[in-house]
Structure 1
Amino acid sequence: MSSLRVDRDIGIMEMLQGYGEWPVVVLFALITQLGDVWFLLLLGGVLYVAGGELPGGGVARRQGLFVLSLVLTYIAFIEALKHFIVLPRPPGASVPPTVPGMPPMLEGVFTNITTAEGPGFPSGHALGTTMVWGGLAFVLDRGTRRLRFGIAGVIVVLVSISRLVLGVHYTVDVVAGAGLGIVVLGVLYWLSDRGTDPERVLLVAVALGIVGLAIRITLDSVATAGSAIGAWLVWRGIADVTPVYPRTRREIVAGFVVLGIMGGLFAIIYASEPSYLLLFLGATISAGGATGAPLLGKRLA
């Protein structure tokens, strides 16, 4: 195991940590949120519900769901992959950096966003950031494609560096995660007919979720499989009746309310650490409800 740790450590992580005074650490703790699961889900959900009505330019609902489906696929993929490979994180990955004057009420949140546990290869943040921000660059039509992918590339690099500064990954982990993300995104973009058929991506997420359960049954693997199945089943039923674009702002607001309720429901169920069956059902209902948010928003409005 020690040889595997050394092989993944080429000195860059130690160099970055050497320059990591506490203001830098705090800055990169915020940057790393651009690739965190909660932020990617929020990004995909907002794009899906708002459709073409975002201030900076939106997309058709199917393309918005494609981006959201990339998040679910990334979660299912990394859950299965990490527990199949099982390589350790750097020593101290579970210990938060020291920040002078940190308010006690923020210590828990800071610890949560600056530490990590479990297997470390490849980097989930690098993989997910590459897939989701890259997918966003594919489907948006504002600006040139070079500009969109340039911005996505900068975000991927910054998030990857943040994982090294925080000491939760080796350099090889983030390079492998980003490289694998490029390949997976390319395959899914092709499979989904340029992001217009998200059902195929959701089906991949379902398959990967089942593989993750077969490898190891945990709270995360159960929640991941349930979420993928719920989203896929609901989309199959509403794909033909979901509006391509929202018609009114009331419809969008109502959709956001539904999305928020479903996200809150999942957070409460997951945090309570229930039985696997209850978690599976809760994740299925939450993800299914989130997938139906645009249609429910239309009917509520």
Structure 2
Amino acid sequence: MHGWGVTEALAGLPESVVLLFALLTQLADAWFVFGGLALLYLLGDERLASDPRRTGATLIALATCALAATVALKTAFGVHRPAGAGTATPPAWLPTLFDTVYASIATGDGFGFPSGHATSSSVVYGGLALSLDRLWSRRRRVLAAAGIVGIVTLSRLVLGVHHLPDVLAGIVAGTTVLVAVWGLAGDNPERTFLAAGVLGAAALVAAFVFAPNSPDEALKAAIALGAGAGAAVTWRRVGGEYPPLPARVALPGVAVLGGAWGGIYVGELPIPVTVLGSALVVAGVVALPWVVHQRA
């Protein structure tokens, strides 16, 4: 069996357990990663990192690298998900109002190898462990990151949207991306965003070549390309160390920009529009501390 029977063995877990893992898998979902890292960038202070704005920007760039690498690898391998990954039966006790939400968080579509959630969690939480130099010891941060990655990868198996090789390959891919990009760019946001842009361009080519009938993959690559390019230019011009923003500014800012980014993510817009829109949104997040500082 492709997944060595692990996914099938987990299929009979109680509905409450499956719902719990459907919620836990959001720790590596695109909306959670974008919103969480944007808030870290805008609100983080010296209790977390010695250079919080640089750290937050680098982490956003790393997450963008993870998105691009996932698209490139998934389209190159072209491996499909387990049967039934695109459907989910909500628990009988869950109010009907939440059926659509449950289906959204408990299913998967597109290619399955490597797991995007495993890749993303390895990059993002591994990056947090490397970057948050004022929080705990590095050993504790690495252990916490490994625990979160383990929970996310297990959730993909419990939900039946991946086989075991998919999530193992995702961990390897994510770790490789993190080590490679960190080794080349360190905690330099401009270089890391440039790496994201280059990976996004490569992923876009891979999507056109290997998966011309899967336009969603090309759109995700276009998002990574736009985010990397737009944020690299913006950081070079206005990036720097600014005080944390007040929550009354940061929260609405992330809500507006995050909503726009989410619309681009699901909007199935033309590729050029997707690239430009993603560039403007992520550049807006990067520039927001500078804008507030200029108006102070």
After superposition, where does 1:213-232 map in structure 2 within 5 Å? 213-217=204-208, 218-232=218-232
Number of paired residues? 285
- Provide Cα deviations, 1:39-58, integer angstroms capped at 9, x if missing partner: 111221111111316xx635
1:274 corresponds to which residue?
Answer: 269
C-alpha contact (below 8 Å) 1:45/1:259 kept by paired residues: yes
Q: 1:104 to 1:300 in 2, by over 3 A?
A: farther
2:258 partner letter: G
Verify: 1:169 aligned to 2:137, yes or no.
no
Instruction: Determine the C-alpha separation between the residues in 2 that align with 1:144 and 1:125.
Output: 26
2:55 partner letter: Q
Q: 1:264 to 1:69 in 2, by over 3 A?
A: same
Instruction: Determine the C-alpha separation between the residues in 1 that align with 2:80 and 2:136.
Output: 41
Instruction: Determine the C-alpha separation between the residues in 2 that align with 1:58 and 1:27.
Output: 31
Match of 1:17, SS state, is coil
- Across the aligned residues of Structure 1 and Structure 2, the Cα RMSD in angstroms comes to 1.9
1:9 to 3, 25, 30: 3
Verify: 1:62 aligned to 2:54, yes or no.
yes
Match of 2:292, SS state, is helix
After superposition, where does 1:41-120 map in structure 2 within 5 Å? 41-52=34-45, 57-60=48-51, 61-120=53-112
C-alpha contact (below 8 Å) 2:219/2:274 kept by paired residues: yes
TM-superposed CA distance for 1:21, in Å, is 0.9
Q: 1:139 to 1:211 in 2, by over 3 A?
A: same
Deviates more, 1:252-261 or 1:28-37: 252-261
Q: TM-score scaled to structure 1, two decimals?
A: 0.88
Match of 2:11, SS state, is helix
- Provide Cα deviations, 1:235-277, integer angstroms capped at 9, x if missing partner: 12223xx3x2416x54x54344333322222233444433333
Instruction: Determine the C-alpha separation between the residues in 1 that align with 2:102 and 2:256.
Output: 25
Match of 2:110, SS state, is coil
TM-superposed CA distance for 1:165, in Å, is 0.3
2:293 partner letter: K
Q: Which runs of 5+ in 1 are unaligned?
A: 1-5
2:243 corresponds to which residue?
Answer: 246
Q: Which runs of 5+ in 2 are unaligned?
A: 209-217
Q: 1:192 to 1:280 in 2, by over 3 A?
A: closer
Q: TM-score scaled to structure 2, two decimals?
A: 0.89
Instruction: Determine the C-alpha separation between the residues in 2 that align with 1:97 and 1:58.
Output: 43
Identity among equivalent positions (%) equals 35
1:153 to 140, 146, 166: 146
1:204 corresponds to which residue?
Answer: 195
